[in-house]
Each structure stands twice: as C-alpha cells, then as structure tokens.
Homo-oligomer: A and B are copies of this chain.
Amino acid sequence: MRPSGRQPDQPREVTLTRGFTRHAEGSVLVSFGDTQVLCNASVEAGVPRWLRGKNQGWVTAEYGMLPRATHTRGGREAARGKQGGRTLEIQRLIGRSLRAAVDLKKLGEFTITVDCDVLQADGGTRTASITGACVALIEALQYMQRKKMIKTDPFRQLVSSISVGVYKGTPVLDLDYPEDSAADTDMNVVMTEDGKLIEVQGTAEAEAFSRAELNNMLDLAESGCQALFAKQHEALGIRR
C-alpha cells in the first residue's frame, strides 16, 4: 500500500556515518533512506549577547538545503538574500530539540552550533537532522572533554526524531516524499529514551485528525524513536 512497499510501522534504512568531514568537532552524515543530511557541530568560545555572564553555554542549529537536494531545483537562499520561513522554523525546532540533550550549565561559556545541510531530500529532513545532529553534538562534547575545555560531561540524554502521518487513512511511520506530499496528516515527534516527548508537531494537511489517530501515530513514533536510539548508540559505540 505504501509507495515504497514498506509496512505501516516500518521505518526506512537509517545510517549514521561519523567523521564525514574533517574540520568539525562533530561530523555525522545521517541518512533516512534517500534523505541525506550532513550534520557538523562547531564549538566556539563565547555565548550570544543575551547570555553573557550567566555562566552557561548555548546550543543552536542552522539548517539549509542544497539547491538541487530536491526533485526540481530550488533557489539558493543566499542568492535570494534571506532564509525562508520553512528554513527558520526547522532550525528553531532542531535547536530546541538539541538543547534538551544537554545541561547548558555544565557547558561553560561555549556555543555549539550544529549545521544541518541537506545533500539529498526525500521527506523527513528535519527528523533526520535532529537524529544525526544529536550524535554530532555528542562527538563535540567528547572533543571538549578531551581538550579539557569542560570538566564535567554536559550530556543529559539522547534525543531522536521521526515523522508519522496518516496516509490514505492508515497511520504510517517515517514518511518519504511521495507519502509526505499526499498525506492527510503529517506529524514530527522528538523523543527521549524513556519515551517522553520533547516536541510534537502535527498538522492536518487535508482532513482534521482525531484523538484516536493521534494516539496511533504517537505509538508508531515511539517504536520508531526506539529504533533510532539503537542506531545512535551503535554509532557512538556506547553500550546501551
């Protein structure tokens, strides 16, 4: 029934490739099927002006899509002279999600910026970004500990994210582009390992959805996120 032939509760193949580029303190190429996002975490001394002197750090994200990541070429935001509303909305979501993974008080006056640049898009770029960026962020924290920039580990908990939706009346997990563009409802969920919620963003694209459908979708998301946590642990080499 799904264009890809997947079962409703079947996510796409996920890979998390560490060390994809050399310069960043954390660098992960994440793929959710044909969606590929390069997540580079950069550590910089200092915090934004409004945080100065508060004895804490900051974690933020920027998001971009290469012009031909998509089926037809999209304009380059740098050439147009501004980031679109969708871009700003996504990078705010990624930043909030990552801050749930870290104790900013233990980070010291450093800023970690995770750049999520979509090399190839096939639906779910924001959920792939959060999932990959979390690993790049942890790599950067490990770098800071090795370099003695911080004394205690600011890591609090893994976060991962996956999309769910109602496609032709059936709740499905991890929508690809053909599903995403035809779904009745599209929801992005960000979770912690103990099954709690960091973000829930559900949108009725065509038909309003019921509380029952919402619950079905959240059940799917929970199982999907658990699989992503396993992938993150594997990539990080942390015994679960």
Q: Which residues of A are at the interface with B, using a C-beta cutoff of 8 A?
A: 21-24, 27, 34, 36, 38, 40, 42, 44, 62, 64, 66-73, 76-89, 91-92, 96, 100, 113, 115, 117, 119-121, 187, 191-192, 194-204, 208-211, 214, 218
A210 to B222, CA, bound (A): 12
A23 partner, pick from B44, B70, B204, beta carbons under 8 A? B70
A203 partner, pick from B22, B192, B199, B211, beta carbons under 8 A? B199
**Chain B residues with CB under 8 A of A200:** 187, 200-202, 214
A187 to B38, CA, bound (A): 30
19 A-B contact pairs sorted by A residue (CB < 8 Å): A23-B69, A38-B66, A44-B72, A64-B76, A64-B78, A66-B117, A67-B113, A78-B82, A85-B91, A85-B92, A86-B92, A187-B200, A192-B208, A195-B210, A197-B210, A197-B211, A200-B201, A200-B202, A201-B201
Copies in the complex: 6
**Chain B residues with CB under 8 A of A71:** 23
Evaluate contact between B197 and A100: CB separation under 8 angstroms.
Answer: no
**Chain B residues with CB under 8 A of A187:** 200
* Residue in chain B with minimal CB distance to A117: B66
A210 partner, pick from B34, B196, B211, beta carbons under 8 A? B196
Nearest-Cβ distance from residue A44 to partner chain B, whole angstroms: 7
A149 to B130, CA, bound (A): 40
Nearest-Cβ distance from residue A211 to partner chain B, whole angstroms: 6
Evaluate contact between B209 and A196: CB separation under 8 angstroms.
Answer: yes
Nearest-Cβ distance from residue A57 to partner chain B, whole angstroms: 16
Nearest-Cβ distance from residue A203 to partner chain B, whole angstroms: 6
- Most B-side CB within 10 Å, residue of A96, A187, A211: A211
Contact of A115 with B68 at beta-carbon distance under 8 Å, contacts A200-B201, A204-B198 already known: yes
A120 to B40, CA, bound (A): 11
